[in-house]
Structure 1
Amino acid sequence: MQGIHNDGPNRHRMPLFLTPELEQAWISEITEDDMTEIFHFELPEDGLFYQPVYSLRGGAVRPDGKHKFDYWDWEGLPPLGDDNPRELQASLF
């Protein structure tokens, strides 16, 4: 997820994904050690599906009319995890 959340004021934010068992532990009374252990849990990468989308925030309508969760091809999008993308070369024509 760090490679996905790579821009903005909360750059490299990491959402907390939990198994049902850890969800139950989270909402029960837990110690700080238990909380720390939960914070360090990482869902296996193959347990996630991710793709570029147009926008999930607000009421922005996609130009192609597709659903906001459908794949969107961002021109010049760097490879996942590349925090230093090259700038697009401008064309004179």
Structure 2
Amino acid sequence: MQGIHNDGPNRHRMPLFLTPELEQAWISEITEDDMTEIFNFELPEDGLFFQPVYSLRGGAIRPDGKHKFDYWDWEGLPPLGDDNPRELQRSLF
């Protein structure tokens, strides 16, 4: 998820994905140990669908007119899953 949430003021934020059982545990009285166990839970990757999209926030209209949830090809974005992308050379001008 860190590679997906890669911009803005909360860059690299990590959402918490839970099973229905863990959701119920989360909203009940839990101990600090229970909380740690829930924080450490990782949903299997095959349980998620992900792709680059145009900005979902605000009223920005996509230049191509497609829905904001449709795939968007961001120039320079490393392939999803590439945890060690090359740093792009930046212009001085």
TM-score, with structure 2 as normaliser? 0.81
Sequence identity percentage: 96
CA RMSD of aligned residues (A): 3.3
What are the ranges of 5 or more consecutive residues in structure 1 without an aligned counterpart?
A: none
**Alignment coverage as a number of residue pairs:** 93
DSSP-derived class of the 1:34 partner: helix
> Residue 51 of structure 1 contacts residue 71 of structure 1 at CA under 8 Å; is this kept in 2?
yes
1:74 deviates by: 1.3
> Residue 55 of structure 1 contacts residue 68 of structure 1 at CA under 8 Å; is this kept in 2?
yes
Q: Deviation per CA, 1:31-62: give whole Å up to 9, x if none.
A: 11000100000000111110010110100011
> Residue 4 of structure 2 contacts residue 52 of structure 2 at CA under 8 Å; is this kept in 1?
no
**For structure 1, which segment, 68-77 or 30-39, has the greater mean C-alpha deviation from structure 2 after superposition?**
68-77
- Gap change, CA 1:90 and 1:11, over 3 Å in 2: closer
1:17 deviates by: 0.3
- Gap change, CA 1:89 and 1:2, over 3 Å in 2: closer
Using CA pairs under 8 Å that are at least 6 residues apart, name the structure with larger relative contact order, 1 or 2. Answer: 1
In structure 2, distance between residues paired with 1:75 and 1:32 = 43
Equivalent in the alignment of 1:72: 72
In structure 1, distance between residues paired with 2:31 and 2:88 = 50
- Gap change, CA 1:61 and 1:25, over 3 Å in 2: same
Equivalent in the alignment of 2:55: 55
- Gap change, CA 1:22 and 1:58, over 3 Å in 2: same
